[in-house]
Amino acid sequence: MFNPMLSVSKELPEKYLKMSTEELENHIQSIKDELGDRLFMPTHHYQKDEVVQFADITGDSLELARICKENTAAEYFVFNGVHFMAETADILTDDSQDIYLPDLSAGCSMADMANITQALHGYDVLTKEYNLDILPLTYVNSTAAIKKFVGEHGGSCVTSGNAKSVVDWALKQGKVILFLPDQHLGRNTAYDLGIPLEQMAVWDPIAKELVYEGKVEDLRIVLWKGHCSVHEKFHKAHIDLARERDPEINVIVHPECEFEVVQAADYAGSTRYIIETIKNAPKGSRWLIGTEMNLVNRLKATYTDIQIDSLNPLMCSCLTMNRIDLPHLAWCLDKILDGNRDNIIKVDAETTKYAKESLDRMLSIT
């Protein structure tokens, strides 16, 4: 039966929209069976259930990066996630392995907040005008070009699962950190490591200015003015209101949330940390979670002996993560069988060389 809830992409051939959920699922499963170990489907925790059911492995950004690097056998990776994750997988895998992204429009608004021209300009101003000895770090939620820039300058990638170890490593290098592109993960992590807010500045790539009131010689970290458009929807007022209604409520959030939210929450950590905490929560306990909605709903459906809700009752899913659905997955798998290479994400050799340095540095630190 035709399902009107399926997302419609302009280019998606009509035949996939006309297939019922059952037909799509059978089609996907039969191609998976046919390709066997030649195909590998890493899938981020923020993906829809309809996609997660076909995952060979689910994980957060750090786990998926590691798993892709370790899998030297698969010929085709279908990456159920967003563009920067597929790029990371391509950088970490062998040249002969192809990484497919089922919908090429599955980007990340945070990664788009730092382009390479802006990064080079910011670096220039900070090093030449402010005379700062800069060590760049980038959240993996960034383009391959940004990862290359970071690798070329001796820096490292970080993910929410290892941010503390990587920022700690960077602080010990005695330089001023430039943390791209998520100001919140950078601020939350540096504060956790004992850096006061007064020693943090913000680089605004649009206004092209450094926002900082202290003395330049006291500066420890420059935060790129970027954020996640999903996690910015959680506010301290949500926590205050929830605690007024239920003083015993537990609040757990992702460190992409703003500083005030992370400070007010009981727990903060990567998607893996959130999943583990909920898994180990005492029966009957009550939780509000500040992260992407597909994951919150999955946790709610899995752990029925505890009470789980979104910290923001009006929250919706990450729109770009949600672009991957059954029709796009079926279409992508058909392309693999047909030898159609449209959905392959390939990072050029020069970018790969240095971007890999920043990823390998991260993997060796953690």
Binding site for ligand SF4 (CB under 6 A): 46, 82, 108-110, 141, 228-230, 292, 318, 320-321
Contacts of 222 (CB under 8 A, 6+ apart): 126, 132, 134, 176, 177, 178, 179, 200, 201, 202, 203, 210
Any idea which residue has 């796009």 for tokens?
328
Partner whose footprint covers residue 109, from ligand 13P, ligand SF4, none (CB < 5 to 8 Å by kind)? ligand SF4
The partner in contact with residue 101, picked from ligand 13P, ligand SF4, none with C-beta cut-offs of 5 to 8 angstroms by kind, is none
d(CA 141, CA 133): 24
Q: Minimum CB separation from ligand SF4 for residue 88, in Å?
A: 12
Residue 200 burial (CB count, 10 A): 23
**256 or 325: CB nearest ligand 13P:** 256
Q: By rule CB under 6 A, what string of x and - marks binding of each residue 50-79 to ligand 13P?
A: ----------xx------------------
Instruction: Give min distance, CB of 151 to ligand 13P, in A.
Output: 19
Q: Check residue 141 for interaction with ligand 13P (CB under 6 A).
A: yes
- Map the footprint of ligand 13P across residues 188-207, applying CB under 6 A: none
Q: Which of residues 256-275 bind ligand 13P (CB under 6 A)?
A: 256, 270-271
Residue 161 binding ligand 13P, by CB under 6 A: yes
The entry of ligand 13P, ligand SF4, none near residue 253 (CB within 5 to 8 angstroms by kind) is none
CB 202 within 8 A of CB 161: no
> How far, in Å, CA of 35 to CA of 237, rounded?
50
Nearer to ligand SF4, 41 or 228 (CB): 228
Q: Which does 229 bind (CB under 5 to 8 A by kind): ligand 13P, ligand SF4, none?
A: ligand SF4
| Cβ-contact 101, 331 below 8 angstroms | no
**SS3 labels along 76-99:** EEECECCHHHHHHHHHHCCCCCEE
Q: Annotate each residue in 96-125 with x if it binds ligand 13P (CB under 6 A) or - if it does not, as one string.
A: ------------x-----------------
d(CA 159, CA 186): 10
> Which residue, among 140, 131, 216, has the nearest Cα to 179 in the 3D structure?
140
Q: Which residues of 231-258 are buried (b: 16+ CB within 10 A; e: fewer)?
A: bebbbbebbeebeeeeeebbbbbbbbbb
Give, as one character, the DSSP assignment of residue 344: B
| 160 touches, from ligand 13P, ligand SF4, none (C-beta below 5 to 8 Å by class) | ligand 13P
Nearer to ligand SF4, 110 or 144 (CB): 110
Residue 138 makes contact with ligand 13P by CB under 6 A? no
Binding residues for ligand 13P, per CB under 6 A? 60-61, 108, 141, 159-161, 228, 256, 270-271
